[in-house]
Amino acid sequence: MFNRITAALVASPIALSTAVGSALANGDDLTPIEELGGKIFFDELLSIRKNQACASCHVPEFGWTGADSEINAHGAVYEGSLNGEFGNRKPPSSAYATLSPIFYADYGNRLLGDNEQDLASDPLFVGGNFWDGRATGWELGNPAADQAQGPFLNPVEQALPDRACVVYRVCEPPGQGQGQGQGQGQAPVQGQYADLFKQVWGAEICMINWPNNVNGVCNQTVGEVDLSPQDRNKVDRAYDRIALSIAAFEGSKASNAFTSKIDAHRAGLYEFTAEEELGRQVFRGKGQCSACHVGSPGPGAAPPLFTDFTYDNLGVPRNPENPLSVSDPDWRDPGLAGFLENVPDYEQYAPTNLGKQKVPTLRNVGLGSCEAVQDGENCIVKAYMHNGYFKSLKSVVHFYNTRDVKPDCEDLGIPDATEEVALANNGWPKPDVAENVNVDELGDLGLTDEEEDALVAFMMTMSDGYLVGQ
């Protein structure tokens, strides 16, 4: 299914999203709950200005992340439904996010090189979603579902004022009686996918007594729909079901396709090129990539996900073109620590996790990039790392290889150098967060240029959509 859909795409990211969203959300090879989640995932009506969907920042054809070359080439953060409102991190890939475990603290031991680290006093945090782990899975038992609840109400994303507005637009979208109210026991709501919502979650899911002014409230950035306690409970239940539906879609074969060259190789249907094979060897050995991007099969011989679901501070420079960095030159991204400091059981560990971001899967890491598309057509500039500082996998690998070798850009008189400026001057800026930088697994790897290129080639084999024999 994924390959068939992908083959029919056009160049515009918006059109791409629409084409894939239409195909997927029409139920091609999807279960009813996955189909429902796909419809919600691609529904722009679920935002304050009815102009932004989950898919606006998670475009399938480009690795389920942001697909605007101009944005990626600079600040790499995306404008929300409201003009001038921006997040502060690059959209993570939503693909394979459903396979992240529920967030937890590992108080055991971890082998780091030749040293065993006792984690009893400084645990290793694992799992969750978002770059900082705040979508834990503690609420709905699924980090992807917890994550799905966030953007609808985030003022810099879809910016709806009340979860009731999300439920209302799913149950009763424009043109289907909005603002009329729908009392309990009345005829079922007939919306664009309300029938499917009720089919999946029960006929009563939309039987909520909406006040006459609900449409007006939901077209404002601030406000709360006036509901009885009973109807508020129904809204909360429906909102949870919306999130679980999205997670089901994100866990379907439409998203977690496992159709890369890596997967074909594991099945004996693809032989790595000499360069890809060299890259695999460097990945496992000299490059130390597999220390965090684990390439071994998962439980039950499941395909590898190329992540250990932990958090790390790689010493990535701040992105000087991030809108928040522009408005506040002193701002630094706290990463995992920003979440931990708000959790009473874990707040004591915030200082040792300052600056750490989630280790992402490498699946689809190069999908749709102009590095991967040799003819330069139907490709984009992709942004890498949590803040989008890097614009190519080659520069990411080069940073891993030379972070601690090249001169400090501050000493070169260019402290806030962009990636382009840093590479042109053969230096690297200081880390965005200097504390807790990983100095054991990167920084001075001694890779040759050939080995860097081979690593990139190997990571390109992790992109879904490979057609065996082509």
Q: Are residues 229 and 181 in the same domain?
A: yes
Q: Provide the pLDDT for residue 111.
A: 52
Q: Are residues 357 and 274 in the same domain?
A: yes
Contacts of 183 (CB under 8 A, 6+ apart): 209
End position of a domain, from candidates 250, 283, 302? 250
Q: For 36-51, how does the pLDDT look when each residue is reduced to its tens digit (9 = 90+)?
A: 999 999 999 999 999 9
Q: Provide the pLDDT for residue 174.
A: 58
Q: Provide the pLDDT for residue 3.
A: 30
Domain that holds residue 145: 2-58+94-98+137-250
Q: What distance in Å separates the CA atoms of residue 312 and residue 317, rounded to the nearest whole number?
A: 14
Q: Is residue 312 part of a domain?
A: yes
Q: Are residues 148 and 125 in the same domain?
A: no
Q: Is residue 80 part of a domain?
A: no
Q: What distance in Å separates the CA atoms of residue 8 and residue 175, rounded to the nearest whole number?
A: 31
Q: Are residues 121 and 183 in the same domain?
A: no
Q: Is residue 119 part of a domain?
A: yes
Q: What distance in Å separates the CA atoms of residue 234 and residue 86, rounded to the nearest whole number?
A: 31
Q: Is residue 339 part of a domain?
A: yes
Q: Provide the pLDDT for residue 300.
A: 74
Q: Are residues 277 and 237 in the same domain?
A: no
Q: Are residues 333 and 389 in the same domain?
A: yes
End position of a domain, from candidates 250, 270, 304? 250
Q: Is residue 241 part of a domain?
A: yes
| Lookup: tokens for 275 | 């360069």
Global pTM reads: 0.89
Q: Provide the pLDDT for residue 214.
A: 95
Map tokens 């249907």 to a residue. Answer: 269
Q: Provide the pLDDT for residue 110.
A: 57
Q: Are residues 298 and 333 in the same domain?
A: yes
Q: Is residue 427 part of a domain?
A: yes
Whether 381 contacts 369, CB under 8 Å: yes
Q: Provide the pLDDT for residue 2.
A: 27
Q: Are residues 162 and 291 in the same domain?
A: no
Mean pLDDT for the chain overall: 89
By the 10 Å C-beta count (0-12 exposed, 13-18 middle, 19+ buried), 47 is classed as buried
Q: Is residue 275 part of a domain?
A: yes
Q: Is residue 85 part of a domain?
A: no
Q: Provide the pLDDT for residue 219.
A: 94
Q: Are residues 233 and 332 in the same domain?
A: no
Q: What is the CATH number of the domain that holds 345?
A: 1.10.760.10
For the beta carbon of residue 449, count every other beta carbon within 10 angstroms: 10
Q: Are residues 112 and 244 in the same domain?
A: no
pLDDT < 70 regions, the chain: 1-28, 109-120, 173-191, 299, 374-376, 468-470
Closest CA to 434 of 332, 291, 337, 341: 332
Q: Provide the pLDDT for residue 467.
A: 77
End position of a domain, from candidates 250, 270, 290? 250
Q: Are residues 301 and 428 in the same domain?
A: yes
Q: Are residues 348 and 399 in the same domain?
A: yes
Q: Provide the pLDDT for residue 115.
A: 55
Q: Provide the pLDDT for residue 137.
A: 98
- Tally the domains of the chain: 2
